[in-house]
Amino acid sequence: MKKKHLAMTLSRLRGFSNPRPELEQYRTPGDVAAELLWLAYSLDEVEGKVIADLGAGTGVLSVGAALLGAEVVYAVEKDKKALEIARENARSLGVEDGIEFINADVSEFSKRADTVIMNPPFGSQNPHADRPFLLKAFEVSDVAYSIHLAKPEVRGFIEAFTRDNGFKITHRLTLPFEIPAQFRFHRKRLERIMVDVYRFERV
């Protein structure tokens, strides 16, 4: 599967039926998910590997990892309804058997993984909402990929937090991330923000 085909496939997956603003439930765009996954795949960190998707939402990253040949994907998501949609998305592409759907907060997850992939909350509604995700990623794996806002203050936090937890940043890709209007406080029909896709590695 080529990256372009992967992006198109993931873009067609079903999103949140009733997104919750306090959880910052925005669907990961197919092109952004494909960039993250393709980077991990090109570095031999997906195919045949144990993957953990922390805060899996509707399963965009989980399904993508399964399509790229992951041995098993742990899709960890505390919103039961979102996890049901993730299961439907996996079933629609025939990869349900390769994903273990775990209805739990990321803090409760304790399985080891070769690679963590995630699109945590940006912290727009709850400051530092991404911190528990980063801590768990650094706990259960030596390699993690994550999506964060491309802002100077966020970059500063990520760089310091990574260093303080014995990890280093090896890659950072800056990409546009489209958010369709889905909450009352949204003023535009389509918001386009910039995000950074990071690869972290234990020092």
DSSP string, 19-63: --GGGT--PPPHHHHHHHHHHHHHTTSSTTSEEEEET-TTSHHHH
Hey, is 174 helix, strand or coil?
A: strand
Cα gap 162→143, rounded to integer Å: 12
User: Is residue 11 within 8 Å of residue 31, measured between CB atoms?
Assistant: yes
What pTM did the predictor assign?
Answer: 0.93
**Per-residue pLDDT tens over the stretch 35-90:** 999 999 999 999 999 999 999 999 999 999 999 999 999 999 999 999 999 999 99
Residue 42 CB contacts under 8 Å (≥ 6 apart), including other chains: none
Q: What is the CA radius of gyration of the chain?
A: 15
Mean pLDDT of 12-33: 81
Q: What percent of the chain has pLDDT over 90?
A: 81
State which fold the 27-202 domain adopts: Rossmann fold (3.40.50)
**Per-residue pLDDT tens over the stretch 100-113:** 999 999 999 999 99
The more confident residue out of 187 and 178 is 178
φ/ψ of residue 31, rounded to 5:
-70, -35
Structure tokens at 124: 């727009």
Q: Where are the domains of the chain?
A: 27-202
